[in-house]
Amino acid sequence: MPIAPVPVPRRFEGRSVVVTGAGTGFGAEIAVRAAQEGARAVGVHYRSSAEGARRTAGRVAAAGSTPVLLQADIADWEQIKAMAGTAFDRLDGVDALINNVGDVAREQMSWRDITGESIDRVLAVDIKGTMLCVHEFGARMLEAGHGAIVNIGSTVIVRGSARAPQYAAAKYGILGVTKSYAHAFAPAVRVNVFAPGFIETEATLGRQDWQSGRGDQLRSLTPMGRIPGPAELAGPALFLATDDAAHITGTYMVADGGYNMVGA
């Protein structure tokens, strides 16, 4: 059963946060959590889910923060440049960027179903898109003299994915992006990876394999005995952008209920 709620800390008091892919799912919960933690402004990025982004913006406002809608195709460099410029202008600077947007090839149930189009799309969004966001937002943070970037990765890189190898490859590539820019931007701007395990988003719960026993199987293999919803992991995702993580950069932090137990 879900853990008991704990008081929400105010780790982003007076700061601004941008979350990509915040129209739905995990990104929406991260954006709302940032507002609940005192962020003065939250950039809500979306590509096509305008309605979802407006709902997120409404929740951000209800939590006491100023929402700023940001539309862009993450795989397009010119659009990312424009979005970064708009974000820094309308939010009066950006203190933290959470790169949540990603393509998991959700429709693909087996490696046998892989297509060239899917490979290109997943790599363009997950690797190229993440790198462009880090590059453009990070360069502006560097000019401002401070900032923190959290790239949302995945524990799929630990075990691989027989279902969607392109997704595992893309998420592994994010490690290289993160470590490279952590070196390039140090010490003013920190860059890290937050890697959740399985999350019971609406999209995951609607998958045929999940409904056919995959979810029950994964719960039985997880020491914590359950798969969390996105709201539960929003706080941990934001941790790497807080002052408590001031001496952490270039790292890969896992939150998977003990499923993989990565480490020495």
Enzyme catalytic residues = 167
CA–centroid distance for 33 within its chain: 13
Give the three-state DSSP class for 195. Answer: strand
Q: Look-up: residue for tokens 């309308």?
A: 90
Sequence-separated (6 or more) residues with CB below 8 Å from residue 83: 45, 70, 71, 72, 136
Q: 37, 12 in Cβ contact below 8 A?
A: yes
Q: 44 - beta bridge partners?
A: 19, 69
If 0-12 CB within 10 Å is exposed, 13-18 middle and 19+ buried, where does residue 145 land?
Answer: exposed
